A and B are shown apart, each in its own frame.
Chain A
Amino acid sequence: MHFTINGTSYDADPDIRTSLLDLCREHLGLTGSKKGCDHGQCGACTMLVNGRRINSCLSLAVMHQDDEITTIEGLGTPDDLHALQSAFVRHDGYQCGYCTPGQICSAVGMLDEVRKGWASHVTGDLDAPRFDNEEISERMSGNLCRCAAYPNIVDAIREVAEAEGVVDVALRHKAEAGA
């Protein structure tokens, strides 16, 4: 099987049952993505597939041979952190750190969803996206942190969202879609 992960090509021949998560961790040495529940409940395994966040534990590797996959290793490096990685450091958005790669990959995908103007369960007017702590909590509810670093995770994400003007982009997107 052939895979493209973080822009790098890999050939591997895992058992047909292998999840995308296990492919990365056990076969390709990409151990940044974490296995928590292995049932799509905790979000520790979150990766970006063609730019969209998914639970990599609930997906078969064999089904992703034509996809562009991004893991935490593809977002930043210790010398060149992704904006969300440095915000998590600055805001102390973790204690043990186990959920952090999934939190950050999920936040990257989530901010793109906001930019596209996607609403959430707590959005009042589906046509007028807003972005506040309640929206962040709702949109990140698929990522658990058993150290309960949630307040700092929310602060880190909000800082990046504000710096990148995601709400303005979302409103512009909605206006263009309506026009």
Chain B
Amino acid sequence: MKTFTYTRADTTDTAVRDAHVSGARYIAGGTNLLDLMKLQVETPEKLVDISRLPLGEIEEREDGGLTIGALVPNSDLAADPRVIAKYEVLSRALLAGASGQLRNKASTGGNLLQRTRCYYFYDTAMACNKREPGTGCSAVGGFNRVLAVLGTSDQCIATHPSDMAVAMRALDATIITQTSDGDRRRISIHDFYRLPGDTPNIETVLQSGELITHVELPAPPKGRQVYRKVRDRASYAFALVSVAGVVSVEEGRIASAALAFGGLGPMPWRNPAVEAALVGQAPSDAVFGAAADALLADAKGYGSNDFKIPLARRVLIATLRDLTGE
């Protein structure tokens, strides 16, 4: 690990001021950042400890939604009675991720910002445009079984690893930030992540020193909520494919649908065409298949991850059966 200077912030104002220098990073739970620092994948010159900021509460709003402090640990968010009652897909996604120890430490904001688990990103002996722009991508043509089939570029085929963020994308979350000049910014989760393109090192629209302070969930959506995750072992593994689904059925027809996917793309994936294929239709395997066609129309395998394309189809269809069945 490269050495760094350390400062603990007591307010968000001091945090954004302290972090307004090149090479500074925020640290909260640290479960991903320290992992990467040990491997020198991340080499911050300064750590701004935000773990004591007063951002650890979950509050109900008058519009029926929830405001989640960025420092709420993943385990507390999953166990919150309001989340369980109204946003079960979020509890389920959180509980499907990581281990008990990690969920106790990992924060809401940090989970949104965790880095890919691409083997080549983690191995500093390998070419990786995300870690070191311009060096190439060893994953294309390499062992890419766990990597992305949607939204990739020739420069990067990494997946976003979060389960929580997949559920938040299905729930239309909004990310609240404080910029380095003190301004507040509201960013829809749909606009928060960036496709890799030619700059896979830039993963979100956050500016230098911008701090996530809260995540807002709108009033709970109508319908049934399901999180389905397929992985290589029963527990404590990243998704090969996951689906967060919220679907309502009225008078025998799908009235609304929100579907987001993990393990397939460089960001928690959502495609309005999937939902358009469902809304207004009577639930059937043919309709679910059309939704899968819409999801996977542009899917591209890279060899050892080709299996994810038929797997995603089956997982989506099975999830839609759960969401619409008796």
**Which A residues contact B (CB, under 8 angstroms)?**
15-17, 19, 38-40, 43, 46, 52-55, 58-60, 62-63, 106, 109-110, 113, 116-121, 123, 126-127, 137-143, 177-178
Contact = CB atoms under 8 A, between A and B. Distances in A.
Contacts of A52: 75, 104
Given A55-B31, A139-B100, A142-B99, A118 B79 contact: yes
A92 B36 CA distance: 36
Contacts, number: 100
B35 A40 contact: yes
Given A106-B101, A121-B235, A16 B31 contact: no
Given A54-B105, A119-B95, A142 B35 contact: no
Contacts of A126: 84, 88, 91
Q: Which 5 A-B pairs have the closest CB atoms?
A: A142-B99, A141-B235, A141-B236, A121-B95, A118-B79
Contacts of B38: 38-39
Interface in B18-51: 27, 30-31, 34-35, 38, 47, 49, 51
Interface string B197-235: 000000000000000000000000000000000000011
A16 B104 CA distance: 23
Contacts of A109: 100-101, 104
A116 to B, nearest CB: 7
B104 A59 contact: no
A54 B104 contact: yes
A62 B34 CA distance: 13
B93 to A, nearest CB: 10
14 contacts: A17-B1, A40-B35, A40-B99, A52-B75, A53-B101, A55-B102, A58-B30, A109-B104, A110-B100, A117-B79, A120-B95, A142-B101, A143-B99, A178-B81
A119 B105 contact: no
A38 B1 CA distance: 12
Contacts of B27: 60, 63
Contact of B34 (A58, A106, A137): A58
A55 B3 contact: no
Interface in B74-125: 75, 78-79, 81, 84, 88, 91-92, 95-96, 98-102, 104-105
Contact of B101 (A54, A116, A137): A54
Contacts of A140: 100
B4 interface: yes
B35 A63 contact: no
Nearest to B79: A118
Given A54-B105, A118-B75, A119-B78, A16 B6 contact: yes
A17 B3 contact: yes
Contact of B102 (A19, A120, A142, A178): A142
B24 to A, nearest CB: 15
A39 B90 CA distance: 26
A140 B101 CA distance: 9
A53 B104 contact: yes
Contact of A40 (B79, B81, B102, B234): B102
Given A54-B105, A109-B100, A119-B84, 7 more contacts: A15-B3, A40-B101, A40-B102, A55-B105, A60-B30, A106-B101, A126-B91
Nearest to B88: A126
B49 A63 contact: yes
A63 B105 CA distance: 12
Contacts of A60: 6, 27, 30, 34, 47
Nearest to A119: B95
B6 A62 contact: yes
B107 to A, nearest CB: 12
Contacts of A59: 30, 34, 105
B165 to A, nearest CB: 17
Contacts of B1: 17
Contacts of A106: 100-101
B95 A19 contact: no
